[in-house]
Structure 1
Amino acid sequence: MTAAYLGRRLLTIVYTLLVVSLLVFGMTQLLPADAAVTLLGASATPQSLAQVRAQLGLDQPAWLQYWHWLSGIAAGDFGRSMRTGQDVAAMMFPALGRSLLLALLALVLMLAVAIPLGIVAALHRGRAMDLVVAMVSYIGISVPEFVTATVVALLFADFLGWLPATGYVPVTESIGGWLAHMVLPTLTVSMILVAHVSRMVRSEMVDVLASDYVRAAHLKGLSPRRVVLHHALRNALLPTITIVALDVGYLLGGIIVVEEIFAIPGIGRALIVAVQNRDLPAIQAGVLIIAATYALANFLADLAYAWLDRRIQYA
């Protein structure tokens, strides 16, 4: 992997984020509500509304508003919330951190469950274990997040009383309390991811186990365990990296329902509040941060490809 390739990929990320910034800014301009009316209320006088619009720069042309916003972001200034007056970066990045912690827990649990399930299903292709894994995967894909979250909360919180149903405790206050409140949302999200990844691992393992180099490894007298873990699995995981990278985007932007149900103050929930209050700087910053994280995850997936398979060369 050359420095020129890395430079081009980084430039692609920058270009992508520029396009995303233009799109999100344009969409926020099309929102039907007036930010000044949202702040002051419908009974505000025309003079006060005009004053607020001037303070917020809403009376300027759209292209000039976009330029001021983009240049501010380039300097690390994401603006101030129209709802609270707080610095948007101080709102969104801690929320992103909480979502990333949830995503990390969900990914770790998913990989610990999905990869063994996929391997077992591939080794028992067409038999009962393969059918069981397939059934679990189809159920996980088919059931919506809010249904899974509701069932998990009713079972472990209400019926068994083992864990709290909702709420959030910062990890800096109590690691035990934080873990207790994160178990149910992590379990909910992981069940969905396991369904995707286990089927991918199973499919790729079936193809790899039928390849010539795996048969050659068996003929050399290597143990079945070594053949599966050291020869087959390494190549079977390559397409899985793509799925995991795509799941990062889902984890940050698609678990809004999970964060809302379990009252986790993540970036998805922060975006809901921002949209409800037409908090334009918070909406724009939140979407841009999610897009940047998603682009970075795909970039890291490319690096992982090259690390796992030395035959892959990025010119």
Structure 2
Amino acid sequence: MANPVVKLVAQRVALGILLLLAASVLIFVGTQILPGDVAQSILGQSATPQALANLRAQLGLDQPAYIRYFTWLGGAIHGDFGTALTNGQDIATAVGRRLSNTLFLAAVAAVIAVPLAIVLGLIAVRYQGRWPDKLISAVTLASVSLPEFLLGYIIIFFLAVQFHVAPSVSTIFPGMGFWAKLHAVVLPALVLVLVVQGQMMRMTRAAVLNLMQSAYIETAELKGLRPFLIIVRHAFPNAISPIVNVVMINLAYLVVGIVVTEVVFVYPGMGQYLVDHVAKRDVPVVQACGLIFAAVYIGLNMLADVISILTNPRLRHPK
């Protein structure tokens, strides 16, 4: 008989693969039902019918949709996304560079946001109902409520224009040193930190507060342990499972929802690459970016499920 943990993890992985397959179908169908003709948009209104027919045959647009889907999916599985219609460049090569830039920005934001959110959440629990709790909750709620583009332009105005802390255009390139890259992404990383840490902080606070009335917490209080020590040593470890879930969801957002921030700061990542080629109606690029974003989001959510199963005995033994 299979180990219950192995069985649950295998189920989550299988579900993740099925979700990714369903997402690939939606991405392909969504790009195919867009109004207009791809060949016409590439060649222009003055193109002859023969030229349009030749280009459609070259792009495989004369084949049935299901054949095109399986051809595209088979290539994607092997890492071949085809070539961009606008410039003829290999999409996989361009995506590799852009994805590494996006992951760098997301990693910088995550390294700051996750510990900051957890520490603020624990401080809010320690001073529940008092001014530190109210101040932390008010600031994080305000940062979450502001749209990313507005927050980005406010930060550009003050930190780039007024005080020259960092450049307003976050340009990075191959061969650039680590510290130079870090300086270039200060402002977009700050925007992402302000956007995602609020939800993580509030979940940390809620999860720990939910345990503060437990019998073992009361026992620790009766022993005379300091309040913050009780929170960190006894309450927080038992609140890891819901906190991990919300952290993983926000990490997925950092990679997938980074599009607006990259556009505001003209950052050469996946989001900027996607927006540029949506405007040019470059369908293969849009499909590749959509599939990669879906894979990252589903993968991180699947990882959150697996970590929750491993850290929560109630999930390992649901009966």
TM-score by length of 1: 0.94
1:122 and 2:111 equivalent?
no
Q: Which runs of 5+ in 1 are unaligned?
A: none
1:5 and 2:19 equivalent?
no
1:59 to 58, 62, 85: 62
Separation in 2, partners of 1:273, 1:203: 40
Contact persistence 1:121–1:133 (CA under 8 A): yes
Please name the residue that 1:232 is paired with: 235
Contact persistence 2:82–2:284 (CA under 8 A): yes
Identify the range of structure 1 (200-209 vs 287-296) with the bigger mean alpha-carbon deviation: 200-209
Separation in 1, partners of 2:317, 2:288: 32
Deviations 1:13-35 (A, max 9, x none): 22111111111111101111321
> Shift of the alpha carbon at 1:162?
1.8
Contact persistence 2:124–2:205 (CA under 8 A): yes
Separation in 2, partners of 1:239, 1:291: 23
1:201 and 2:189 equivalent?
no
Separation in 1, partners of 2:317, 2:40: 53
1:75 and 2:78 equivalent?
yes
1:166 to 166, 169, 180: 169
Contact persistence 2:170–2:184 (CA under 8 A): yes
Partner secondary structure for residue 208 of structure 1: coil
2:153 to 130, 150, 153: 150
Deviations 1:202-240 (A, max 9, x none): 122222222111122233454444322121112223212
> Shift of the alpha carbon at 1:176?
2.1
Separation in 2, partners of 1:308, 1:69: 38
Deviations 1:148-181 (A, max 9, x none): 1111111111100121111322374222221111
Does the C-alpha gap of structure 1 residues 170 and 187 become closer, same or farther in structure 2, counting only changes over 3 Å? same
Q: What residue identity is the alignment partner of 2:5?
A: T
Contact persistence 2:171–2:267 (CA under 8 A): yes
Please name the residue that 2:297 is paired with: 294
1:265 and 2:268 equivalent?
yes
2:27 to 24, 29, 33: 24
> What's the Cα RMSD here?
1.8
Please name the residue that 1:182 is paired with: 185
Q: What residue identity is the alignment partner of 2:149?
A: F
Contact persistence 1:252–1:268 (CA under 8 A): no
Separation in 2, partners of 1:241, 1:171: 34
Separation in 2, partners of 1:248, 1:288: 17
- Percent identity, please: 36
Identify the range of structure 1 (150-159 vs 29-38) with the bigger mean alpha-carbon deviation: 29-38
TM-score by length of 2: 0.93
Please name the residue that 1:87 is paired with: 90
Q: Which runs of 5+ in 2 are unaligned?
A: none
Separation in 1, partners of 2:145, 2:53: 50
Does the C-alpha gap of structure 1 residues 172 and 310 become closer, same or farther in structure 2, counting only changes over 3 Å? farther
Does the C-alpha gap of structure 1 residues 162 and 232 become closer, same or farther in structure 2, counting only changes over 3 Å? same
Runs of 4 or more, structure 1, over 6 Å off, are none
Contact persistence 1:122–1:130 (CA under 8 A): yes
Separation in 1, partners of 2:313, 2:96: 36
Partner secondary structure for residue 77 of structure 1: coil
Identify the range of structure 1 (39-48 vs 283-292) with the bigger mean alpha-carbon deviation: 39-48
Deviations 1:235-254 (A, max 9, x none): 22321222122223322232
1:238-277 superposed matches below 5 A: 238-277=241-280
Deviations 1:81-111 (A, max 9, x none): 1112122111223212211111111112112
Separation in 2, partners of 1:208, 1:19: 38
Separation in 1, partners of 2:27, 2:276: 17
Q: What residue identity is the alignment partner of 2:273?
A: A
Separation in 2, partners of 1:122, 1:56: 59
1:284 to 284, 287, 290: 287
Q: What residue identity is the alignment partner of 1:269?
A: Q
State the aligned residue count: 315
